[in-house]
A = this chain, B = another copy of it.
């Protein structure tokens, strides 16, 4: 099967113009088919502050009232998404910027939670692959903003890591999918303060041991849980590492490889 990269880029890299430019250059040089999923939380928080819209985060999830939904839609699907597309086009990388509502390609519903109202936050029901397939097959790379919809006209703020995973999973019916979580760290670290302690490979048994020994810091656990879930659902490889080293990361020369073996 042909290879497809589904690459999530973390928020802190997006905020740094020169790091982002370097990342997008590396991304443009990938000759295989590719999808980029981005967030942009810091810029959204900054805009909310300027607009006096109070922000509340619970376990890293943004409580999304109607004003906050407007803000994240503007920042993620407007400013960040289209800025990335324009830069990719300048690198001769033909790209289309989408959110999950476009072509109805991500179906989601508003999160139901008995203890907490997250507001307009979406949980994903499924990804339709046809729309993405036809774009990829016509030579276009896809840039995805983390906004979905409920099919009834309501936009929903949705976790970008989860979107990357769900896209990777859906596309694994058609491609050999490499799911890449790229961010400001060099990979999964044994010591969160020491960038030289990257763990090159994590399998299920070692992961259980690391969690047991509390050697993995809390923010990393949902990423790795997502990674194993993706592998169980047909994704070929999951890589975690530094956005600035994207070429090395996808060639397995840096970062952490999560594998079922």
Chain A positions near chain B (C-beta within 8 angstroms): 50-51, 70, 73-79, 81-83, 85-87, 89-90, 94-99, 101-104, 130-131, 134, 138, 140, 147, 149, 151-155
Contacts and interface: CB of A to CB of B under 8 A. Distances in A.
Given A73-B82, A86-B154, A94-B103, 20 more contacts: A50-B50, A73-B83, A76-B78, A78-B79, A82-B102, A85-B102, A86-B155, A87-B153, A89-B101, A89-B104, A89-B153, A90-B152, A95-B103, A96-B103, A97-B98, A97-B101, A103-B140, A130-B138, A131-B138, A131-B140
B104 A94 contact: yes
A165 to B, nearest CB: 22
A98 B101 contact: no
A139 to B, nearest CB: 10
5 contacts: A70-B79, A77-B82, A85-B149, A95-B103, A97-B102
Contact of A77 (B77, B130, B140): B77
Nearest to A152: B90
Nearest to A149: B86
B79 A73 contact: yes
Nearest to A82: B77
A89 B147 contact: no
